[in-house]
Structure 1
Amino acid sequence: MEFFSEYAVFLAKTVTLVIAILVVLASFAALRNKGRGKTAGQLQVSKLNDFYKGLRERLEQTLLDKDQLKALRKSQVKTEKKQKKNPEAKPRVFVLDFDGDIKASATESLRHEITALLTLATPKDEVVLRLESGGGMVHSYGLASSQLARIREAGVPLTVCIDKVAASGGYMMACIGEKIISAPFAILGSIGVVAQLPNVNRLLKKHDIDFEVLTAGEYKRTLTVFGENTEKGREKFQEDLDITHQLFKNFVARYRPQLAIDEVATGEIWLGVAALDKQLVDELKTSDQYLAERAKQSELYHLHYAERKSLQERIGIAASSSVDRVLMNWWGRLTQNRFW
């Protein structure tokens, strides 16, 4: 126990020192950035064909002997020269990624990526969205879906690939794709709406604590955490949920008219294999397989709009990572657990 006490004191001193240093740096960063506007981000574009080519060439270097590799490279050079003399216009595929949290925070980057590609994309091109999301806030995913709708309205083919999950708000985005491709065991569906909140009014009453809720407007507040909820308020809250659900169903049915919407809009989820039978998806395939196939006849461009973080934000991220590492190391020593 003496060891643990000494180690706890050492840990406390270390964490205090780290926090003190970070506070000073954060203050300096705040003063430096005072009066400056938000730093603009940057659109990063990479050609995925080069990535696939690099993978193949690395494998060829390992598996082929010197003579075989020399002959192969010679043949490739001839082919490339021939293509340069008779250039063939290949269709373009713009690849985007969306990794959604509960607030659909990735929408901020997605909107800029879509704005950029729509300046050049034509109906002969294609946009592929690699989507991962279990859903979240209605208004946040509503905006994300509206961004994707811009691609459809421009007449550019949109393919959505789902490797792990696209449920609830995630499926709301996915359904906009003219083609939805899913891995066999990805999670899809959950076309429903849920809301929940605790109520501690009885606990407050037990301790003689009053909590007043004043509103102007009959339904300004329906259910609350601290106030006393009424049956009328519950009915209105449920009515709002039902309206939102109906809007969700109508939205999905608009882009996927082949669905038996009342059958699938029950809030249930399905794995990819079952989702194919329900027509929630069009094909079972991983995004890697689909893009590798498209790379054979198309030029693939991956777009990512990266927000430039301020010094203060970078310090905050570094601080969080440092504290996490210290605490994990301390807990590992106490419990003799190993962390990978």
Structure 2
Amino acid sequence: MEFFTEYASFLAKTVTLVIAILVVLASFAALRSKGRRKSAGQLQVSKLNDFYKGLRERLEQTLLDKDQLKALRKGQAKSEKKQKKKPDAKPRVFVLDFDGDIKASATESLRHEITALLTLATPKDEVVLRLESGGGMVHSYGLASSQLARVREAGVPLTVCIDKVAASGGYMMACIGEKIISAPFAILGSIGVVAQLPNVNRLLKKHDIDFEVLTAGEYKRTLTVFGENTEKGREKFQEDLDITHQLFKNFVARYRPQLAIDEVATGEVWLGIAALENKLVDELKTSDEYLAERAKQSEVYHLHYAERKSLQERIGMAASGSVDRVLLSWCSRLTQQRFW
């Protein structure tokens, strides 16, 4: 029994040592990769019409007998032949996905996808964005929204589909769409701004610990975590929040003038059914339903820009990803960063 105990202890120490070495190597790889130019990515394009066709044909093969299936295929062949003879090309629908985190990291792919499709898209086409985001940093979602605004400025119709959530910075992006389609129980709204941070100054004083905050510029630091906050600093911080909120309201009102902006810009959220009544969305429907309908009349293409990462980058990301998420979670609570 003592042998097994000693062996288990040795094994635990060995595993710990190996993991520590791997973490160190991964950290070095990540640091080295930061100084290098990112590897070129690749635009992946798939035709959703083929996907829907494959689903239908698989079901037909299962449910129909040979004679029925043969007759159906014959009719489909004739129909496709007639379609090819028509001189008018079908309109195109370009589908993009945005799954937003607190930093709006998906903007990096979105910017390239929009740049690519704008080289070919015309006002006869349509861009559909499947959007899921609960919001995040002001500057990050400001950039993501500016990318979508490029589509509107080019005169290409933009439709935004929301199946789960588009709140705060997510709704800031959604409002740029000429048409917003929401699932009945998706979460929308939260047109507001929030910032929070703890202050441990009294705890430090209790243990006779001094913390000095030196600044050049009256409002370089308004509120701090460790220093003593003042009423003047709080007032300035609140003023900055109010200004940011007003800019947010003006932005939403510009793209959705039908909204009673002062009534909905209270930071509240609504489910899709109530959001329709408040004119936050234009129609209740899932993105699957909408795209399946468009596929009957249009050529539907899904675009995704994927970054090519080296082996070092992949190792570094795997090792540091979890740590980054934890640090970001804590730092977001300790900084004065504004959030949509």
Mapped to 2, the partners of 1:242 and 1:339 lie a distance apart of: 12
Percent identity for Structure 1 against Structure 2: 93
CA positional deviation for 1:316: 3.8
Alignment CA distance shift 1:327-1:266 (3 Å): closer
Mapped to 2, the partners of 1:329 and 1:9 lie a distance apart of: 34
Mapped to 1, the partners of 2:46 and 2:64 lie a distance apart of: 28
CA positional deviation for 1:71: 1.4
Alignment CA distance shift 1:8-1:201 (3 Å): farther
What does 1:1-340 align with in structure 2 at a 5 Å threshold?
9=9, 12-13=12-13, 15-16=15-16, 18-19=18-19, 22-23=22-23, 26=26, 37-318=37-318
CA positional deviation for 1:334: 35
Q: Which moved more, 1:58-67 or 1:228-237?
A: 58-67
Contact 2:194/2:338 (CA < 8 Å) preserved in 1? no
Deviations 1:183-240, CA, capped at 9 Å, x for gaps: 0000000000000000000111111111100001100000000000000000000000
RMSD: 7.1
Q: Which moved more, 1:245-254 or 1:31-40?
A: 31-40
Alignment CA distance shift 1:331-1:123 (3 Å): closer
Contact 1:29/1:311 (CA < 8 Å) preserved in 2? no
CA positional deviation for 1:35: 8.0
CA positional deviation for 1:314: 1.7
Deviations 1:57-112, CA, capped at 9 Å, x for gaps: 01001111111111111222222223223354100000000000001000010000
Q: TM-score, normalised by structure 1?
A: 0.88
Contact 2:61/2:69 (CA < 8 Å) preserved in 1? yes
CA positional deviation for 1:165: 0.3
Contact 1:332/1:339 (CA < 8 Å) preserved in 2? no
Mapped to 2, the partners of 1:337 and 1:218 lie a distance apart of: 18
Contact 2:91/2:124 (CA < 8 Å) preserved in 1? yes
Contact 1:191/1:264 (CA < 8 Å) preserved in 2? yes
Mapped to 2, the partners of 1:3 and 1:140 lie a distance apart of: 57
Contact 1:184/1:284 (CA < 8 Å) preserved in 2? yes
Alignment CA distance shift 1:32-1:188 (3 Å): closer
Alignment CA distance shift 1:58-1:19 (3 Å): same
Mapped to 2, the partners of 1:204 and 1:95 lie a distance apart of: 54
5+ long unaligned stretches in structure 2? none
Mapped to 2, the partners of 1:4 and 1:271 lie a distance apart of: 58
Q: Which aligned runs of 4 or more in structure 1 are off by greater than 6 angstroms?
A: 1-8, 30-35, 320-340
CA positional deviation for 1:36: 5.3
Deviations 1:273-292, CA, capped at 9 Å, x for gaps: 00000000000000000000
Q: Which moved more, 1:308-317 or 1:97-106?
A: 308-317
Contact 1:94/1:300 (CA < 8 Å) preserved in 2? yes
How many residues are aligned here? 340
CA positional deviation for 1:30: 6.9
Mapped to 2, the partners of 1:90 and 1:80 lie a distance apart of: 13
